[in-house]
Amino acid sequence: MAVAAHLRKLGVEDGLGDARLLLEEATQLSRSDIIAEPDRLLTDEQALALERLTDRRAAREPVSHILGRKGFWTLEFETCADVLTPRPETEHVVEAALKLIAPEASARILDLGVGSGAILLSVLSERPNAWGVGLDRSVAAARVAQRNAERLGLSGRASIMVGDWDAALTGPFDLIMSNPPYIRSSIIDHLEPEVRAEPRLALDGGADGLCAYRRIVESCARLLAPGGGLALEAGFDQASEVLTLLSETGLYSEFETIFDLAGHARIVSARRV
Ligand SMILES: C[S@@+](CC[C@H](N)C(=O)[O-])C[C@H]1O[C@@H](n2cnc3c(N)ncnc32)[C@H](O)[C@@H]1O
């Protein structure tokens, strides 16, 4: 497809996948409709819409910002420049979290750095008796999470708050989850344009990338109930450092690590003794 070739030439890695999504959006047709009739001609209006969407993607605007939505776990989330685009590897946080609480448990859950609400709302969708707090430092992100909670019919069990990590929380919680900002400050400006288009607050993990983990480990010591579970996403090369931060507290057992599809240790989970 010409759009795919154009995008690939400009350095867009998955030019074909992105071109398919833009075509679906421009035509308002489903993928199966397009596959069933591949030689269908675009109307002038559809062609113009496709050109406009392609120009935005060619300028390296993330697809999730252009479409305003992104699939994650079994749900679809509103996305925009105010929140980190939910990533496939973060689905492993949901997987780890679900292993830490029983299906019928009326667990109290906390998601630190809730962003779009991807982690918290996915876990709540699988645990009908649980309720959760999703907290973010960004007011704009918290608004997106609130809208997602409402749209997904989960706002009755999800309290979205603004705060600086645990400062406004008392707890205790039975499960704490977080995908904190973990990129070293010095490398952010050298990342792909799509990553730089994400909110800086969602990326910047300080000089060594571990600043948020130190705060979160400290918060969990205060907020996590005895026997409670903890699931943290780490950068592709940070899992062992995060494990060390946790084990140094002497508060946890049952450590587990989950690997992403690229083979990187990504998710660290543990249970409070
Ligand atoms: C990597 S994003 C994760 C978003 C979402 N949980 C996900 O996995 O898609 C990190 C989130 O932490 C939030 N954050 C950064 N600093 C914070 C702080 N001091 N207190 C609370 N949230 C913070 C950011 O605004 C951002 O939404």
Q: 135 near 112, Cβ under 8 Å?
A: yes
For residue 213, what is the enclosing H or E element? helix 211-223
Residue 147 Cα distances to 26, 30, 82, 143, 199, angstroms: 25, 25, 13, 6, 18
Rounded to whole angstroms, the Cα distance separating 179 from 125 reads 18
**CB of 118 closer than 6 angstroms to any ligand 1 atom:** yes
| Percent share of the chain, pLDDT over 90 | 96
For residue 136, the CA-to-ligand 1 centroid distance in Å is 6
Query: Can you give the pTM of this predicted structure?
Result: 0.96
Does 252 score more than 90 pLDDT?
A: yes
Q: Taking all residues of the chain, what is their mean pLDDT, rounded to a whole number? A: 96
Ligand 1 atom nearest to 138, measured from its CA: 25
**CB of 209 closer than 6 angstroms to any ligand 1 atom:** no
Q: Which two tokens stand for residue 190?
A: 């050298």
pLDDT in tens, 153-198: 999 999 999 999 999 999 899 999 999 999 999 999 999 999 999 9
Ligand 1 atom nearest to 83, measured from its CA: 27
Does 111 score more than 90 pLDDT?
A: yes
Ligand 1 atom nearest to 164, measured from its CA: 20
CA nearest ligand 1 atom 13, residue? 113
Q: Output the DSSP codes for 105-171.
A: ---EEEEES-TTSHHHHHHHHH-TT-EEEEEES-HHHHHHHHHHHHHTT-TTSEEEEE-STTTT---
Phi and psi at residue 162, to the nearest 5°: -105, 135
Ligand 1 atom nearest to 114, measured from its CA: 6
Does 263 score more than 80 pLDDT?
A: yes
**CB of 162 closer than 6 angstroms to any ligand 1 atom:** no
**CB of 136 closer than 6 angstroms to any ligand 1 atom:** yes
Does 1 score more than 90 pLDDT?
A: no
**Which one, of 47, 77, 80, 76, lies nearest residue 66 by Cα?**
80
Does 105 score more than 80 pLDDT?
A: yes
What is the average per-residue pLDDT within 139-162?
98
pLDDT, position 39:
86
**CB of 90 closer than 6 angstroms to any ligand 1 atom:** yes
Domain boundaries of the chain, sorted by first residue? 2-59, 86-272
Ligand 1 atom nearest to 204, measured from its CA: 15
**CATH of region 86-272:** 3.40.50.150
Give how far the C-alpha of residue 188 lies from the chain's centroid of Cα atoms, to the nearest Å.
Answer: 18
For residue 16, the CA-to-ligand 1 centroid distance in Å is 30
**CB of 84 closer than 6 angstroms to any ligand 1 atom:** yes
